[in-house]
Every structure is written in structure tokens, then in C-alpha cells.
Structure 1
Amino acid sequence: MNQQEQLDTLNDIRNIMNRSSKFISLSGLSGIFAGLTALVGAYFAHEALKTYAASGYGYGVDADLSIEFELLKIGVLVLFTALVGGAFFTYRQSRKKNLPIWDSTAKNLLINLAIPLISGGMFVIALLFTHNNALSLIPSSTLIFYGLALINASKYTYSDIRFLGICEIILGLIAMFNVGLSLYFWAIGFGVLHIFYGCIMYFKYEKGAGN
């Protein structure tokens, strides 16, 4: 066996180990789609805030239940659309790689992703309906909990997800001290960063692999 054959064998072993321990059917197109969806949602949230805020656009005003329900509706629609798109592109990628879409690795990934996300969702709902004038903390809170979820789940998929999670947390912390710009930080975190990292993952793991 020559040196090239040895390298090929080692690469095959590494690929088999990655497939058994990491969920590698994530598609960069999922991130791009989620980012575009978030930007559309941020636009509608921006328009809703301008319409309903008592003293013009801003987070420093008391919000009534109408704007809270409107923003909650937008958030749910954005989340649902992003999840449907993510499921579609993940299924498409798993078919291309001839890999199962549901196995123990996928289960571990979803569990580790869901725990911080569900906790963050409950925290945001509590902010919305139990604290006055807490609207300004919601964008930063969602960024932080989402970043924690990505870091928690990154051990079961590509390591790039961990760096995306760190960036989301940093943006969330900055947004906490700049509440007037919270929506813009939210749009950067869920929109621009998703598109950026989606492009990186697509060209690194899909386009470069000849898919």
C-alpha cells in the first residue's frame, strides 16, 4: 500500500467516524433561508413598532398588549417558516449524502438544541406578559439563549456552529446595553450572521464537496 492509498484509507476512516458521531446533513442553504426569513420578519416588526408605539419608534415606551401580540405573531411565523425551510434543506442534503435524517446523533443534536431554546422561549413569554416595559429585553434575550443553544448542540455537528453561537451571545449582550437598537442587533444576529455562516458552510461542506 503506497502513501496515497494510506491517506485515502485514513480519510475514509475519519469520514465514517464523523458520520457516526456528528450530524453532517445540515445544509448551509438552511442558514441562508433562515437569515432571509429573519430579515423579512425584522422588517415587519420594525413597521409594527412604528405603527403602535405611542411616541414614535423606539423601545423606551410602554407597549400595550396589541403590540406584544403582534410581535409574538411575527416571531412565531418567522420561527415556523425557518424551521420548515431548515427541515426541507436538511432532508435534501441527507438524500444527497445518502445518510439517514434521523438517528441517535440527530436525536442528541435536537435535545441539546431544544433545552436552551425552550428555556429561552419561556423566559421571553414571561417578559412579555408579566413585566411592564420589558419589550426592550426580548431581542437581546432571544439572541443570548439562541447562542447558548447553538454552543450546546455544536458538539454533535459542525464546529462552525459553535462560533456562530458565540457571535449570537456577543450581539445579545451588546444589545442589552443599547436597547434602542435592539431590533437592529436582532436582525444582524438572526439575519446577517445566518446568511454569512450559511454561505461559509455551503461552500465549505457542500459546494466544495461537489454536491
Structure 2
Amino acid sequence: MDQKVSDDLAHIRSMMERSSRFISLSGLSGVGAGIVGLVTGLIAMYFTNGKIQYVRSNHIQPYESYMVKFLILLGISALLLAISFGCFFTIRKSKKLGLQIWTATTKKILVQLAVPLMVGGIFVLALLQYNLYGLISGATLIFYGLALVNAEKYTYSDIKYLGFLEIILGVLSLFFIGKGLLFWTIGFGVLHIIYGVILYRKYQ
């Protein structure tokens, strides 16, 4: 009798967990996004000689317009590819677990992610307008980290640790102007791969 009660309680806890948290997030999504971040980061470092020199003799020295457009296009491409990987593996895991993807919890986690990311996007646009390219990598890492920490209560709690690491990298990047691409590649590439592997081994 006691075993039956215990099993029933475990089943109820499992149902509550499924209804209140987005558990369809796949570790492979993180690995895929990390590979995209790593490859695009290395490409950007190659074409910029590994650093962004936007200050010379105390004067703003902006990139030429073609390089700015190339880096923006590269960043957008990385974002779209990372989202594609995330959607593909998340949908696959949802089908495997027999879970619905679009639920009230999904809406909540998207809102929690969207607010910091939208504010961060506007801030980055302002940095672009004033040719402050050396601060962009740090800003994207910080706002992305804040978004992850913000969304943690609606998905795996492990995601907050990735968020904190992204924030720390972003803050450090602000004090090493010219090395932003290196921090960006570590944050969006290496950390995502490590996090994805840990998440996959732990929950799949």
C-alpha cells in the first residue's frame, strides 16, 4: 500500500513538473547552437585578425562599411541557424516524450527570454550607430545571459548556470576591448557545446 502511494505521489510530481516547466529543451540544441557559434566566431576572428581595434590614438576608428555589413550578416546567419537547430531538436524530443510544444509554459518562457533579448538588441543597435564595435560582443553576452537566468524558472534549472557564465564572460569582455570576438566565441560556442553535452547526458 505504501509503495502504491509513493508511486502515485511520484506520478503526480512528474505531471506537475511537465505542466509547469518546459522540459522539451534538448541538449542537442545546445550542442548545435554551440557548433554554429564556434564556427561563425572563428570565421569572424579570421577576417578581423582576431580582434576589433575601434580606438586608435584616442579617436574612434570605425570599421569600413563592408566589414560591418559582413559581421552583421554573419551574426544574423548564426542566430537563424542556432534557432533552426533548437527548433528541430526540441520538436524531435517533444514527439519522443509525447508532449505538446505550444503550451502556456512555452509562452511564459518565450516572454521571459524576449524581454532581455529585445532590450539587448536595441542597445546593440545604439552601439552600432556610434561605432562602438568593441562593446558589442560583451553586450550580447550579458543580455543573453540575463535572458537565460530570467527563463530558468520555466525550464531546467541548469540553464541559469549557463546564463551566469555568459554574464561573467560579457562583463570581462568589456574590460578587454579588442578581444570581444574571443569572448563571444567562447560564450556562444564553447560554453553552449559543454552545456548541451551536460544537459543531454543528464536528461536524455
- TM-score bracket for the superposition, by shorter chain length: over 0.9
Aligned 8 A contact 1:144 1:168 in 2 = yes
d(CA) in 1 for partners of 2:6, 2:33: 37
Is the 1:48–1:71 contact (alpha carbons within 8 Å) kept by the matching residues of 2? Answer: no
User: Structure 1-normalised TM-score?
Assistant: 0.90
Structure 1 unaligned spans of 5+: 51-56, 207-211
Query: How many Å apart are 1:138 and its aligned residue?
Result: 0.6
Of 191, 194, 198 in structure 1, the residue corresponding to residue 192 of structure 2 is: 194
Provide the C-alpha distance between the structure 1 equivalents of 2:161 and 2:10, rounded to a whole number of angstroms.
25
TM-score calculated relative to the size of structure 2 = 0.93
Match among 51, 66, 77 for residue 58 of structure 1:
51
Q: What do residues 105-158 of structure 1 show as CA deviations (whole Å, max 9, x unaligned)? A: 001111110111111112112211x213x1110110000000011011111101
Give the count of matched residue pairs: 197
Within a 5 Å distance, the mapping from 1:1-211 to structure 2 comes to 1-2=1-2, 4-50=3-49, 58-61=51-54, 62=61, 63-128=63-128, 130-132=129-131, 134-206=132-204
| 4+ runs deviating over 6 angstroms | none
Counterpart-to-counterpart distance in 1, 2:9 and 2:162: 29
Percentage of pairs with the same residue: 50
- 3-state SS of 2:22 partner: coil
Q: Which has the higher contact order (CA 8 A, sep 6+)?
A: 2
Task: Report if the CA contact (8 A) 2:45-2:182 is conserved.
Answer: no
Q: Work out whether residues 52 and 181 of structure 2, in 8 Å CA contact, stay in contact via their aligned partners in 1.
A: no
1:35-68 per-residue CA deviation (whole Å, 9 max, x = no partner) reads 0000011011112213xxxxxx532232122211
The root-mean-square deviation of aligned C-alpha atoms, in Å, is 1.2
| Alpha-carbon distance between aligned partners in 2 of 1:7 and 1:170, rounded to the nearest angstrom | 42
The residue identity in structure 2 corresponding to 1:114 is: A
Maintained 8 Å contact 2:134/2:178: yes
**Cα offset, 1:169, TM superposition:** 0.2
Which letter maps to 2:93? Q
Aligned counterparts of 1:200 and 1:58: Cα–Cα separation in 2: 30
Partner AA of 1:142 in structure 2: T
Deviations 1:64-99 (A, max 9, x none): 222111110000000000001100000001001100
Q: Unaligned stretches of 5+ in structure 2?
A: 55-60
